[in-house]
Amino acid sequence: MYVSIASLDWNQVEQTPRGEVYEVCDADEEGWALFMESEAPETKCGKMEWIDGRIAIVEFPSRERGDLVGAFVRCVTQNISLDAYLHPSVGGSTPRHLPYHEADLSYGPTSQGGGTLPPGIQWRDWDTLKLEIGYSRGWGHGPGATYKLYMVLHRDGHLPLDVSTRVEAPHTVVKLNSRLLLGLAPRARLPRQPPVPVGLFIDLYEILELTRARF
């Protein structure tokens, strides 16, 4: 596995069209899990996934993705109260209980928020919000930016084939449940010092504009 990745012709790999994956090699599930838990430099060459017995590079590092992640962090950080109880993990940080999920950005509650830690999981590995960014066109092309928002209540649940929603001016606001973000029960009291609102509102159009201004 390591030999296959280390011997890649990156000039060829980087010609992979946006929106397509580059298949690297065959691997069993145990080998893939050990590979992802290692600190080998090959794990940092791009976002990889184990798909039906094969390792594939599904995303490559890009300035656009990095700037979108930075803009999202900036918008969440504006809500100082929630920012005090959530910790971000940017890229390359895969929870040990989810070896096949590597999001561009994740947020998880801290112990100060009052949530109840699920059995078998450490605080640093508990994510309640995941952001995945994908793009296949440059800035000037249609149909424009879209998003999908999922609520996943069970670890083994599959995401539905949902329809994308357009990100449109002047505002495209999504609301996230603060209790779910902090790992609290539905009627549990929210933290008061600093106070946490019932919902976290994120303007996706604002994030898009913050990123677009850099290009």
Average per-residue pLDDT in the chain?
Answer: 81
Structure token digits, residue 49: 């996934």
pTM: 0.75
Instruction: Provide the H-helix boundaries in the chain.
Output: 2-6, 10-13, 29-37, 63-77, 80-83, 178-182, 204-212
Report, as an integer, the average pLDDT of 176-189: 94
Rounded to whole angstroms, the Cα distance separating 150 from 4 reads: 35
Q: Where are the domains of the chain?
A: 2-59, 63-212
pLDDT of residue 2: 62
Q: What is the pLDDT of residue 64?
A: 81
**68 compared with 60, residue with greater pLDDT:** 68
Give the residue, 105 or 93, on which the prediction is more confident.
Answer: 105
Report the percentage of the chain scoring pLDDT > 70. Answer: 79
For 123-173, what is each residue's pLDDT tens digit? Answer: 888 899 989 887 665 555 556 788 888 887 766 666 677 778 899 989 999
Residue 38 has pLDDT above 60, yes or no: yes
Dihedral sign from CA coordinates of 188, 189, 194, 199:
positive
Separation of alpha carbons 174 and 118, rounded Å: 26
Confidence at residue 45, expressed as pLDDT on a 0 to 100 scale: 62
The confidence score (pLDDT) of residue 157 equals 60
Please give the sequence-ordered ranges of beta strands (E in DSSP) within 114-195, or none if there are none. Answer: 129-131, 146-147, 165-166, 173-177
Report the greatest alpha carbon distance in the chain: 55
Q: Residue 56 corresponds to which tokens in the numbers above?
A: 């594939």
